[in-house]
Structure 1
Amino acid sequence: MPEINEINKIPLSFATCSIGTQSDTLPRKLSALHNAGFNAIELAFPDIQSHGANLLGHPIAADNYPELVTAAHDIRRLCDAYHLRVLMLQPFANFEGWPRGSREREHAFERARGWIEIMDAVGTDMLQVGSTDTPLEKLQGGKENIVSDLRELCDLLAAKNMRLAYENWAWSTHAPTWSDIWSIVRETNRPNIGLCLDTFQTAGFEWGDPTTSTGRVDDLSVGELDKRLEESMRRLVGCVPVEKIYLLQVSDAYLPVEAVPRERVRGEWPRARWSQAFRPLPYDGGYLPVEAVGRAVLKTGFRGWFSVEVFDSGPDGKGREYEIKQYAADAMWSAREFLEKCMH
């Protein structure tokens, strides 16, 4: 059994997008997470917009950075009152790889500069960037341009002593695995870029598949897929330096009641749709071997942030009722149970 003190040394965070309903304001979320004992939050961009709307009395556009910065200053005040650090701003999506000179690339860097202003106001030094899911035919230059864009973003962040946490999204069109993003991080070759690892994104790509009858990749046996995942995790332990892991996000996934259609729906890939509604806390009805990922991350020597990021609309995806304070307490129990099992 791991020592309680060893578990207590690992700081725990919770994503604000992962708790409450539209009627739950950000102050209510922060209060619940503080009472549950979390040390920090991942601040989700929509929560800045909704808090700003309540603060200023009108909706705030996603590119109205002066008003978003005003909201961010107030969020910093609230977090200080609840003794919560803002670990990271998320999710910065579909940033890298756009054609040079395109309006899309120009807009991506406008967003980056605006989000950096928000980060400065709210007092966080880390930006999460998810590996883009833009269809590759819309991008240009392949990996070379992706790396070039990330270098430029790293340099913008470095001017403010900020970091880039690059995450493999399981539905990414160019980097769905931890090894894909590790290759890109190495080539980017900046001191302020590292990995945002995620139990769902890794196990949900290498082991799970919502489009098959079993919910497993190629309908393979549990034993075969466990063996493959364990080998992948051995490679992770062997090649990723601990200082290049910035955090581990923790969640599980429900086995779909019916296989998810393979085609894109309203521009979303199957695993993206799975991710948005079918991700419970560990030990709350999921089926992925998420402990294998947590165990590997700990074996690197990492003792940094474990952050709960769930999207739980129930096993049928139709919604789930819960009381926000109790859910935060359940999440703390789940996170500590996950750590204890991964430390075995």
Structure 2
Amino acid sequence: MPCRPAISSMSLGRCYAGHTLAHKLAMAAKYNLHGIELFYEDVAALASPQTPSDILAAATYVQTLCASLNLEIICLQPFMHYEGLLDRSKHAERIEEMELWIEVAKVLGTDIIQVPSTFLSKDVCSGDRELIVSDLRELADMGLRQTPTIRFAYESLGWGTYVDTWEQCWAIVVAVDRPNFGICLDTFNILCRIYADPSSPTGCVPNADAEVAASIQRLVQQIKPHKEKIFFLQVVDAERLEKPLLPGHAFYNEEQPSRMSWSRNCRLFYGEKDKGAYLPVKKVAHAILKEIGWEGWCSMELFNRAMERKDHGVVEELASRAGASWIKLVADLDLDLIERPSSRGVSGSRKDSTSPAGVVKKGVEEVARL
């Protein structure tokens, strides 16, 4: 399929800041975003108590609400801190948790679950490549047993404990060697590791431009022959800080790597130069979308301090910025701008307010009031 615009649900405002999923989805649709990366927290926030049956009922509501707004759920994420756990009883608990995630994904109508590389401390997770691959292969095999197949998109985080570059991530995808196990490429997480250094006065690593040029060349060479293993793309920038992110900085957190603290506060949508964006995102996006020739979902997965704001208007503000960012990306890379597909309608016939369909009816009514 041609490239289509999407956004992460939490990037439109955090649920714990009082932003309802119905409002966020309505604003995503208003600004012509076609797809949603659904954060699990947004589903769980709708379930009370959070029993498996309540979670699944909430997922039914979300799927039907998205259908009513003509939004496609592209993935459920993030299944965090999974691979390489030293305590294998904890691993068994995560496998049991994944069984529920798979059922939730099925109800949502998505076939992708995203797994970011772990950033747990080294005293609780192993860097043994064989163990990491074995753990991730176990997920893939669970997905292969499903009808339809569930796919897993592995993503390197720029502050991951053992996997913090796209190349390490890709090597693991290749080693897992399952048709339903692929990679999520994220321009921010790629560049925050090989280009940016928020703790430096320059905001960059030494020889940053040369590092990016060489990395992009390898990216094209290694992944172009296997571009079907890119399950989706996240296109995100970040602001250059006026002062290095060191002790005393407002965003400094001694319990977090500087890149993580920077990520949580300072990501920006593509092209937001007026807000301080400075990463060479266009170069990476061009490599993936033009040189590799990949087509599919381009999602804006923003993390930013604005998401914590509690004012009602922040949701539309973020959605409008995401929509403008997509239009700029289309123009900058000469992409085909496609129209939103026709509506799929709302399903469900049970009318009582306590059933999943009853919850859906309430959600649709909430959207109608926005």
**TM-score, normalised with respect to structure 1:** 0.87
Shift of 1:114: 1.6
Instruction: Please name the residue that 2:232 is paired with.
Output: 247
- Separation in 1, partners of 2:57, 2:310: 33
Q: Which residue of 1 aligns with 2:269?
A: 281
Aligned equivalent of 1:166, options 124, 138, 154? 154
Q: Which runs of 5+ in 1 are unaligned?
A: 1-7, 53-57
* Partner in structure 1 of residue 304 of structure 2: 312
Runs of 4+ in 1 over 3 A off after TM superposition: 264-267, 317-323
2:169 corresponding residue in structure 1: 181
Tell me: CA distance 1:128–1:266, structure 2 relative to 1, closer, same or farther (3 Å): farther
Partner AA of 2:321 in structure 1: D
Query: Relative CO higher for 1 or 2, CA cutoff 8 Å, sep ≥ 6?
Result: 2
Which residue identity lines up with residue 253 of structure 1 in the other structure? A
Contact 1:209 1:271 in 2 (8 A): yes
Shift of 1:318: 8.6
Contact 2:134 2:176 in 1 (8 A): yes
Number of the residue aligned with 1:20: 13
Indicate conservation of the 8 Å contact 1:292/1:342, yes or no: no
Name the CA distance, whole Å, in 2 between partners of 1:38 and 1:145.
38
* Change beyond 3 A, Cα 1:339–1:168: farther
304, 318, 338: which one pairs with 2:329? 338
State whether residues 281 and 334 of structure 1, in contact with CA within 8 Å, keep that contact through their aligned partners in structure 2. yes
Q: Which residue identity does 2:100 align to in structure 1?
A: G
Aligned twin of 1:55: none
Taking the TM superposition and a 5 Å limit, the aligned residue runs for 1:111-260 are 111-140=97-126, 142-160=128-146, 161-217=149-205, 220=206, 224-240=207-223, 241-260=226-245
Q: What is the number of residues matched between the two proteins?
A: 321
Structure 2, gaps ≥5 residues long? 336-370
The answer to whether the 8 A contact 1:164-1:194 is kept is: yes
- With the length of structure 2 as denominator, give the TM-score of the two structures: 0.81
Contact in 2 for aligned 1:312/1:320 (Cα 8 Å): no
Among the aligned pairs, what percent are the same residue?
Answer: 32
8 Å contact 1:312–1:319 — kept in the other structure? no
Between the aligned partners of 1:267 and 1:156, the Cα distance in structure 2 is 34
- Retained in 2: the 8 A contact 1:126–1:164? yes
Deviation at 1:328, TM superposition (A): 1.5
RMSD between aligned alpha carbons?
Answer: 2.3
Query: 1: distance between equivalents of 2:3 and 2:126?
Result: 41
Give the deviation of 1:150 after TM superposition. 0.5
